[in-house]
Amino acid sequence: MSYFDSVPQAPADGILKLSVMSKADTNSKKVDLGVGAYRTDEGKPWVLPVVRKAEQRMAQDPAANHEYLTVGGLPALTNGAQTLIFGGDSAALKEKRVYTIQTISGTGANMVGAVFLKQFKRPDDAAVYISKPTWVGNHRSIFQTAGHEVREYRYCDYQTLGLDIDGMLADLRAAPRAQIVVLHACAHNPTGIDPTPAQWAQIADVMQERGHFPFFDCAYQGFATGDVDRDAFAIRLFVDRGFELLVAESFAKNMGLYGERTGCLHAVVADPARVAAVSSQLNRLSRATISTAAAYGAKVAGTVLQDPELYGEWQQNMGEMSGRIMEMRRALRQRLEKLQTPGDWSHVTSQIGMFSFTGLSAAQVQRLREEFHMYLTDDGRISVAGLNSGNVDYVAMAIDAVVRAG
């Protein structure tokens, strides 16, 4: 008899399982459209040139060391991240109503925020509402693991593969007052469907009417459109409207610091007198879980954020990444339309960011894996970053074949 006999097998993580299957496939035509990381047109990982420069500066710094960071993290990162998210002219920053703590990327920020809200949310039985669909496998898991009840609000219109704004607003209105609502700041994962500025204003109206608490997840700022201010529109709108809120921020995608696990959690409060208490509790939670945050990625990101020359080059690097993804969206749509693939493929270019919700069924996805060695998630989500000039024709041909087969 084992002490661990009562431990059940956890459900397999869909993304990790897909990655294992893809790596095991040695077919020369294999296309991995599951990985949530940027790839060049040659299908290779890309270290941003600006990150290389920051690393070189760090290596040449005679004062460089490997000491622990403070519990709150590296100020060069946390201060720079505040300005990046809220804008240099933010009233919330000028009024000192924001506290930022460094986290283990965006996932860690979500978890620290989830545990914090579980302890201090009002009312104490408030549920967490996530979009349907949302970040595959993780949003629900994070908030349930922290002890919250998790519910869904409508988001994707599965007929048009656009935003179901009416369904979303109806569900937010129908929810009990003062619930916690997880919102994707830009480049919604997994759909690539973002509200327009006018729709964000409608969402804010309903959230204010119902007293809901916003929890933004921002993993793609600058990566989505190439414009950090445009991608922060929703967050800044809610702050300007007077909301108290949390923002989880990641530098995995927009700086390519995937394995360095660099991120922040921002708390915006109405009364600056509350910052001391909020910061003390967030620091306590972080101390109890990771002691102090990782230094290397924070130093890279902090160097870029604090140096005007490097910051400008970073903007160019993000523009190159987002531009290539937009180009691949156009290329895939053009090829599907040239093949006269049944259906409307305009959603491929109307969606935004790394992912596209194709509308393919689970059976079609399975056939793509088995017959065409194409790897995408069961819900039909593809990572557009996995497309390149060498495989987009093959991908379009394969999609055309499975769609025609029904």
* Catalytically active residues, by annotation: 135, 217, 253
Nearest in space to 78 (alpha carbons), one of 274, 247, 271? 247
The CB density around residue 252, as the number of other CB atoms within 10 Å, is: 23
Closest CA to 394 of 373, 380, 377, 379: 373
Q: CA angle, 189 as apex, 197 and 222 as ends, to 5°?
A: 60
> Of 227, 209, 211, 202, which is closest to residue 321 (Cα–Cα)?
227
Kindly tell me the burial class for residue 199, based on how many C-beta atoms sit within 10 Å of its own C-beta (0-12, 13-18, 19 or more).
middle
- Find all residues with CB under 8 Å of 167, minimum gap 6, and list them: 153, 154, 155, 157
Report d(CA 302, CA 79) in Å as an integer: 9
DSSP per-residue string spanning 318-375: HHHHHHHHHHHHHHHHHHHHHTT-SS--THHHHS-SSEEE----HHHHHHHHHHH-EE
Q: Report whether 275 contacts 269 (CB < 8 A).
A: yes
Residue with tokens 């420069």: 53
- Give which of 258, 292, 271, 252 is closest to 95, Cα–Cα: 271
Q: Which of 334, 323, 308, 328 is nearest to 388 (CA)?
A: 328
Q: Which residue has the tokens 């048009």?
A: 160
Task: Answer whether the bond into residue 133 is a cis peptide, omega within 30°.
Answer: yes
Report the distance separating Cα 306 and Cα 295, nearest Å: 16
In the block, tokens 């339309």 appear at: 337
